A and B are shown apart, each in its own frame.
Chain A
Amino acid sequence: MIVLCVVSILLLTFYIREGDRGPIHSIRSGVVTVTSPLRFVGSAVATPFNAVGNIFSNLTASQETLSDLQAKNAELTAQVAELSEAQETATRLEALVGLQSTYNLQSTAARIIGASGDAWSQTVTIDKGSADGFTVGMPVCNAYGVIGQITECALNVSTVLLINDESSGVSAMVQSSRAQGMLRGQADGSLRLEYVPADAEVKVGDIVITSGIGGVFPKGLPLGTVTSVEKSDNDVYYTINVRMQASAENNEEVLVITSLNPDQVATDEEIVAANDAEAAPAQDTTQDDDSADSADDGSGDSESGQDDTSEDEYSESDDYEE
């Protein structure tokens, strides 16, 4: 037991310390590739149940009294559900094509074939991988907006970390007032827009979009809608809850954005404006302590408590952190 425990701890240590292209990540990628046919089968098996699950439960209640007619009814209902599903698929595909053309996205379509295998992370698996040109870091969206970013890429499947996972964060802004912040996932699967200065104008119902800062997500893609805005008297930043615009349902089509056009990245002026907005309240708080967000990780560090926050620093801060 001791030997295997030591091996486990060593595996864990190497996994944490190695990069995305380390041997353990490569082995996992290989295992995911090998087991991907099973995932496809599981997705195919589960799909009809997604569509007729409620119908089935209703039918079982009246099964004692109905016989042939009920079976016929069930068959027809299943067909209707199947056709409705096909119609919805067509509608979603049309919307995806619309999104692709509206935002001029260079993207490849894929399909969600499963959710996370463990309860602790918000991820989905899509049916295309490195063989289709996908790489780690590519943003993923559906017809309603951004859903996440590829974090693991096997040969024929990829894992997408959803934006509502608590380890994710996207540079975002409020569409109406252009107030910039960082959209982070919470433990309960909700979204929160952080680091929006308290002097900015934000109200319930405002749409939150990607800001394009960081050069990962195209600028202007919808992320969600503001559901509540809170601020105490001495707060430097708002506490803004956001409802996710897009949902990641099984068997739905998504677009993986393979590259960005120059006009989809934040302009220099926008980066400077974002830095200015972030620097002002951060300077105030630095006088008292190490700033409100200095205890936080990722982007907060690059934005707060820095008098000389440069444009490059902000640009290099990644949209997504793990």
Chain B
Amino acid sequence: MPLRETTRSLQGVWIIAIVAAVLQVALSPQISILNGTVNFMMVLSITLALTAEPGTAVIIGFASGLFFDLTSSAPVGLMSLILSVASFLVASSAHGAMGGITRESIRLVGIALLVANLLYGLCLFFMGVQGDLLWALLGHGLSSTVLDFLVALIFMAIGGGSSSQRSFSTRGGASRYKMPR
């Protein structure tokens, strides 16, 4: 029985992806708090990776990262690389069964967002785009992580709500089920 990705319809994923893309282009440039901005594409790929196969998560991460790269002034390819790897790791850790807001999923998303943002800042520093490592990591990276995390909670709540309407819900205690590989 294929448990993975049964909790989220393809149509729902497309809707969330389009909403995230629109927010990334329209809203993200307008919101800047404490030197941080919301990266909706990062939030999208990480939260979707919770309930996706690693292979699918990588594709979502790559596409999300590439969209971010192409709509921002950052080097093209960097965010797509980071999100591809991050989505794969999140999907592998979550085993496709961490939909909704649970302690495990919140912890995993928080760590993934933090690592991805810090890694991004680190790469920009080594590429010479950023001149101050502390500012790249703490000034921009941490504040962006906090903003991303808050948005991720909303995404997870929405994702969890839609998944619970389906016949099989993975919310809470889903890790007790043995996942077929």
Interface range on chain A (Cβ under 8 Å from partner): 35 or more
**What's the least CB distance linking B22 to chain A, in Å?**
6
A5, A11, A187: the one within 8 Å of B135 (CB) = A187
**What's the least CB distance linking A163 to chain B, in Å?**
15
B26, B76, B85, B88: the one within 8 Å of A12 (CB) = B76
Q: Are A15 and B75 in contact (CB under 8 A)?
A: yes
Q: Are B88 and A1 in contact (CB under 8 A)?
A: yes
**Alpha-carbon distance between A11 and B129 when the two chains are bound, in angstroms:** 17
B124 within 8 A of A: yes
Q: What 0/1 readout, one digit per residue, does chain A (153-193) give for beta carbons within 8 Å of chain B? A: 00000010100001100000000000000000011110000
B26, B62, B134: the one within 8 Å of A8 (CB) = B62
Residues of B within 8 A of A13 (CB): 77
B171 within 8 A of A: no
Residues of B within 8 A of A45 (CB): 26-27, 30
Residues of B within 8 A of A167 (CB): 128-129, 131
**What's the least CB distance linking A15 to chain B, in Å?**
4
Residues of A within 8 A of B35 (CB): 119, 189
**Alpha-carbon distance between A116 and B144 when the two chains are bound, in angstroms:** 13
A1, A9, A116: the one within 8 Å of B73 (CB) = A116
**Alpha-carbon distance between A12 and B66 when the two chains are bound, in angstroms:** 11
**Alpha-carbon distance between A167 and B129 when the two chains are bound, in angstroms:** 7
B16 within 8 A of A: no
- Which residue of the partner chain B has the closest CB to A166? B131
**Alpha-carbon distance between A8 and B58 when the two chains are bound, in angstroms:** 12
**Alpha-carbon distance between A45 and B144 when the two chains are bound, in angstroms:** 22
A253 within 8 A of B: no
Q: Are B30 and A114 in contact (CB under 8 A)?
A: yes
Q: Would A5 and B71 be within 8 Å (CB), given that A38-B26, A120-B124, A187-B131 are in contact?
A: no
**Alpha-carbon distance between A152 and B131 when the two chains are bound, in angstroms:** 21
**Alpha-carbon distance between A31 and B71 when the two chains are bound, in angstroms:** 7
Q: Are B77 and A12 in contact (CB under 8 A)?
A: yes
- Which residue of the partner chain A has the closest CB to B58? A1
A71 within 8 A of B: no
Give the residues from 58 to 113 in chain B that come closer than 8 angstroms, CB to CB, to chain A: 58-59, 62, 65-66, 68-78, 80-81, 84-85, 88
Q: Would A115 and B75 be within 8 Å (CB), given that A31-B70, A120-B121, A120-B124 are in contact?
A: no
B163 within 8 A of A: no
Residues of B within 8 A of A231 (CB): none
Residues of A within 8 A of B26 (CB): 38-39, 41-42, 45
Q: Are B85 and A5 in contact (CB under 8 A)?
A: yes
Residues of A within 8 A of B70 (CB): 27-28, 31-32
Residues of B within 8 A of A12 (CB): 75-78, 81
A14, A117, A159: the one within 8 Å of B28 (CB) = A117
**Alpha-carbon distance between A4 and B84 when the two chains are bound, in angstroms:** 7
Residues of B within 8 A of A43 (CB): 30
Q: What 0/1 readout, one digit per residue, does chain B (44-62) give for beta carbons within 8 Å of chain A? A: 0000000000110011001
Q: Are A46 and B30 in contact (CB under 8 A)?
A: yes
Q: What 0/1 readout, one digit per residue, does chain A (252-265) give for beta carbons within 8 Å of chain B? A: 00000000000000
What number of B residues sit within 8 Å (CB to CB) of A?
53
B130 within 8 A of A: yes
Q: Are A4 and B76 in contact (CB under 8 A)?
A: no
B29, B30, B55, B132: the one within 8 Å of A166 (CB) = B132
B32 within 8 A of A: yes
**Alpha-carbon distance between A16 and B58 when the two chains are bound, in angstroms:** 24
B170 within 8 A of A: no
B7 within 8 A of A: no
**Alpha-carbon distance between A43 and B25 when the two chains are bound, in angstroms:** 10
B36 within 8 A of A: yes
Q: Would A123 and B25 be within 8 Å (CB), given that A4-B59, A5-B85, A12-B78 are in contact?
A: no
Give the residues from 8 to 42 in chain B that come closer than 8 angstroms, CB to CB, to chain A: 22, 24-30, 32, 35-37, 39
Q: What 0/1 readout, one digit per residue, does chain A (217-248) give for beta carbons within 8 Å of chain B? A: 00000000000000000000000000000000
A306 within 8 A of B: no
List 7 contacting pairs A-B, 8 Å CB cutoff, sorted by A. A4-B80, A46-B30, A114-B29, A116-B32, A117-B71, A120-B120, A167-B129
Q: Which residues of B contact A (CB under 8 A)?
A: 22, 24-30, 32, 35-37, 39, 54-55, 58-59, 62, 65-66, 68-78, 80-81, 84-85, 88, 120-121, 124, 127-132, 134-136, 139-141, 143-144
